[in-house]
Amino acid sequence: MSTVKNALAQKSGALIRVRSGDMVVEALRQMRDNQVRSVLVIDDDVLVGIVTQGDCAIKVLLPGLDAKQTPVGQVMTSNPVTVKPDDRLEGCMAMMAARGFRHLPVLDASKVVGVISIGDVVKNIIRDLEHNVDDLMGYIMKDGPGG
């Protein structure tokens, strides 16, 4: 089965990030402009958090705060759970389902190398299953008993 590294290889583009001192409106602009639903929060090349559209809606919009005056650090999830490039996608999917995560930052030797979403994980697992089906069909049709 696939690894986080395989899932990252299927993605394009640079890391979408903001600093904890940036205003929430900047995080929302980054999400809009890059068509993503979360942004990593990185200060001095260190991952300090992640902020999602949900964080912005629930922690800024609902309480009536101003996104132009609310720092990302006030609404982000600090010290997010991370995965490594060699981690298996099945384990990521199980963790995401059990803990309600939709995004996992990827660290390689403490350096942020990407982020995977539940959609990335599902796409890669489906791709693996399709390859397995193709292999089995080839075996049955050509190499199997009576073939």
Query: pLDDT of 3-41, one tens digit each?
Result: 999 999 988 778 999 999 999 999 999 999 999 999 999
Find the Cα–Cα–Cα–Cα dihedral 128, 109, 97, 61, rounded to 10°. -120
Mean pLDDT (the chain) is: 90
Sign of CA dihedral 91, 92, 97, 99: positive
Indicate whether 92 pLDDT > 80: yes
Find the Cα–Cα–Cα–Cα dihedral 147, 128, 9, 53, rounded to 10°. 160
Amino acid at 38: S
Structure tokens at 98: 């059990």
Indicate whether 146 pLDDT > 60: no
Mean pLDDT of 123-136: 73
Query: pLDDT of 52-64, one tens digit each?
Result: 999 999 999 999 9
Structure tokens at 110: 């403490």
What residues contact 66, with CB distance under 8 A and at least 6 apart? 60
Q: How confident is the model at residue 144 (pLDDT cuts 50, 70, 90)?
A: low
Q: Cα 131–134–140 angle (5° rounding)?
A: 140
More confident residue, 44 or 124: 44
Helix residue spans in the chain (DSSP H): 4-9, 24-34, 53-56, 72-75, 89-99, 118-138
- Enumerate the β-bridge partners of residue 136: none
Q: What is the pLDDT of residue 59?
A: 97
Q: What is the pLDDT of residue 142?
A: 76
Contact 23, 69 (CB under 8 A): yes
Mean pLDDT of 100-104: 93
Indicate whether 98 pLDDT > 70: yes
Q: Which domains, ranges and CATH numbers included, belong to the chain?
A: 4-143 (3.10.580.10)
CA 107 distance to own-chain centroid: 12
Indicate whether 147 pLDDT > 60: no
